[in-house]
Chains A and B, each alone.
Chain A
Amino acid sequence: MKLEQGLLYSKSHEWVKDNGDEIVIGLTDHAQSELGDLVFVNLPEEGDELVVGESFADVESVKAVSDVYAPVSGVITEINEELLDAPEKINEAPYEAWLVKVKEVTDKEELLSVEEYEAFVASEQE
């Protein structure tokens, strides 16, 4: 399982990059590996509101759909349109293939550090 330094992680397997006034959200390597080959990503629109803990997007593999949960509350400023035509980028480079950028962050859930996330994933697999 690949991990990246400098990011925070959620228990629902999203990664969060805190750029100060802007947050970037994506899916972890563990997530993409569990999901298998992704065939489509359903992203929200710019201007949509995120509510912490609620699903704001979903990703499709051939046989399943999985929700992506908001680790923060805020407003979406940008979506990664590349993913609409090439969802496989999430499989190939999960920490580069960001899903959305968020501003006006009001609420945050408890996010994990790299080490905490690693331990969390290990415990889930028991």
Chain B
Amino acid sequence: MLIFEKSRTGRGIDTLPACDVPEVLPSEAHQRTKALHLPQMSEGDLSRHYTELAKKSHGVNDGFYPLGSCTMKYNPKLNDAAANLPGFTEIHPLQPEESVQGCLEVLQKAEEYLCEITGMDHMSMQPAAGAHGEFAGLLLIKAYHESRRENKRKKILVPDSAHGTNPASAVMAGYKVVSIPSGPDGCVDIEKLKEAATDEVAGLMLTNPNTVGLFDKNILEITDIVHQCGGLNYYDGANLNAVMGIVRPGDMGFDVIHLNLHKTFSTPHGGGGPGSGPVGCKDFLTQFLPSKLVAGETILSFVRPEHSIGEMKSFYGNFLVVVRALAYIMTLGREGIPEASRNAVLNANYMMEKLKDLYTIAYNEICMHEFVMSLDDLKKEYGVSAMDIAKGLLDHDIHPPTMYFPLIVSEALMAEPTETESRETLDEAIAVFRKLYQDAKENAEVLHRAPVSTPVTRLDEVGAARNPVLRYQWPD
């Protein structure tokens, strides 16, 4: 039942005292006349309502969450404690600088550590999510070329395996997207890249390891080809969990990067946000970074990059999310960061090896932190699709892997276990995957009807899109 249906006139919570100064109301011309319906409930009923909703949700805390490309690792409680300190939560963003030295220190340290991890020279914490960081990074590239009057560079190269935000961000930045096909090995087709690398190209967007979980060993050649034609290289940091502390984007030839703190750096996903997508760059681009950076040694202050692209949003970014990420980096430290990546890769290979006799692995070689299965054969032979297996997993309380991405693999399921899963969790999950495979062969109907044990069964998405009902309406 919706909260509005539980509402009863006259009920409520006594939150505020009466006004202790003479009341001032807006003039009639500006007064609200449209009724305002909000729930009227006791605190007890309200509390129960949300407990009910929480029971119908599934977080990393509830079970294995092998979502490829999302890095659903454990969200440490220490990070939450840090982010809830009043010395952070009660601070107004426009307080005098001398009264927020601790906040400035958080931003400075986060920048310092993340730059070291990625091989960049400076980084802004302002972008609020990965896509936001991508947009900022592309604007850096645009500002760079404009400053050199290279105005015919209107194209951005994007592999066909890229995450949808890549081409979308490029278009938002005013570029035309040129898609580079992947070779049969799942990596960038070097010959096609060379053909496309003209003096009309502003840059290339790439992630390495790529979206099929493979480390592109031609990476230095790739970034060089782009530099040779006068373009810049942009690194999508979504897959950093495979290589952090082991290899750095800055050493692979990348000039600009973004990170996803809500992926690699353990901040909670929150049901879809808030995340944080810092944008980092090499020195020659620092002057274009958005908003403000933190400078100083003992006394810290904000400085504006000389030719900044401006503001991506108000203030300094999702600050409390950055606090969480900083606590995480401080906990892991010099040894723990590469340790996390190594174990992420181990867990992915472990899971892949134990499934490959049944499930077709799209690219049958050492994977990095994630691997892709193709259920094409299963579909052709038994009529069971990636969707059916995914829904079958739900009945076993396992969150499915990413479905139907990347687009270059048909009936794709992309699994990323992360390093924070134990061997027995992996073994249990592997057993479930194997059982579902058997079900597909012997009892496909069960999978077509799945899930059956969840609060709702498969939903009518066609109806939802054809006749959208996007809000509750009060009966008149």
Closest Cβ neighbor of B403 among chain A residues:
A63
Closest chain-B Cβ to A78's Cβ sits at a distance in Å of 23
A71 at the interface (CB under 8 A from B): no
In the complex, which residues 411-461 of chain B have their Cβ closer than 8 Å to any Cβ of chain A? 461
Question: Does B466 contact A60, Cβ atoms closer than 8 Å?
Answer: no
Q: Which residue of B lies closest to A40 (CB)?
A: B465
CA of A18 to CA of B462 in the docked complex: distance in angstroms?
33
Q: Mark A45-74, 1 if CB is under 8 A from B, else 0.
A: 000000000000000111100000000000
Which residues of chain A come closer than 8 Å to B465, judged between CB atoms? Answer: 39-40, 60, 62
Task: Evaluate contact between B462 and A62: CB separation under 8 angstroms.
Answer: yes
**What 0/1 pattern do residues 80 to 96 of A give for CB contact below 8 A with B?**
00000001100000000
Q: Kindly report which residue of chain A lies nearest to residue B404, judged by CB atoms.
A: A63
Q: Which chain A residue lies CB-closest to B462?
A: A37
Question: How far, in angstroms, from A87 to B404 measured CA to CA in the complex?
Answer: 24
Once the chains bind, are B404 and A88 in contact (CB under 8 Å)?
no
> Inside 8 A of A60's CB, which chain B residues have their CB?
465
Q: A17 to chain B: closest CB distance in Å?
A: 27
| CB under 8 Å from chain A, chain B span 372-410 | 404
Q: Which of A62, A87, A88 has the most CB of B within 10 A?
A: A62
* Beta-carbon nearest neighbor of B466 in chain A: A39
Q: How far is the CB of A98 from chain B (nearest CB, A)?
A: 20
Q: Number of residues in A with C-beta < 8 Å to the partner?
A: 9
A39 and B404 CA atoms in complex are apart in Å by 19
Docked complex Cα distance between A68 and B426 (Å): 45
A-chain residues with CB within 8 Å of residue B461 when the two chains form the complex: 62
Q: How distant is the Cα of A60 from the Cα of B464 in the complex, in angstroms?
A: 13
Nearest CB in chain B to that of A37: its residue: B462
For the complex formed, measure the closest distance between the CB of A97 and the CB atoms of chain B, giving whole angstroms: 15
Assembly CA distance A115 to B461 (angstroms): 36
Alpha-carbon separation in the docked complex, A56 to B461 (Å):
26
How far is B466's CA from A63's CA once the two chains are assembled, in angstroms?
13
How far does the Cβ of A34 sit from chain B's closest Cβ, in whole Å?
14
Task: Identify the 8 closest CB pairs spanning chains A and B, nearest first.
Answer: A39-B465, A37-B462, A62-B461, A39-B466, A62-B465, A62-B462, A39-B462, A88-B466
The residue on B at minimum CB distance from A63 is: B404
Q: How far is the CA of A41 from the CA of B340 in the complex (A)?
A: 46
Chain A residue with the shortest CB-CB distance to B461: A62
Residues on A with C-beta less than 8 A from B404 are 63
Residues of B within 8 A of A61 (CB): 462
With A and B bound together, what is the CA distance between A63 and B404 in angstroms?
A: 10
Mind listing 14 A-B residue pairs with CB under 8 Å?
A: A37-B462, A39-B462, A39-B465, A39-B466, A40-B465, A40-B466, A60-B465, A61-B462, A62-B461, A62-B462, A62-B465, A63-B404, A87-B466, A88-B466
Whole-angstrom distance between the alpha carbons of A54 and B404 in the complex?
A: 27
Contacts of A87 in B (CB 8 A): 466
Q: How far is the CA of A124 from the CA of B462 in the complex (A)?
A: 28
- Distance between Cα atoms of A60 and B404 in the complex (Å): 17
Q: How far is the CB of A23 from chain B (nearest CB, A)?
A: 29
Interface residues as binary, A20-56 with B (CB distance below 8 Å gives 1, 0 otherwise): 0000000000000000010110000000000000000
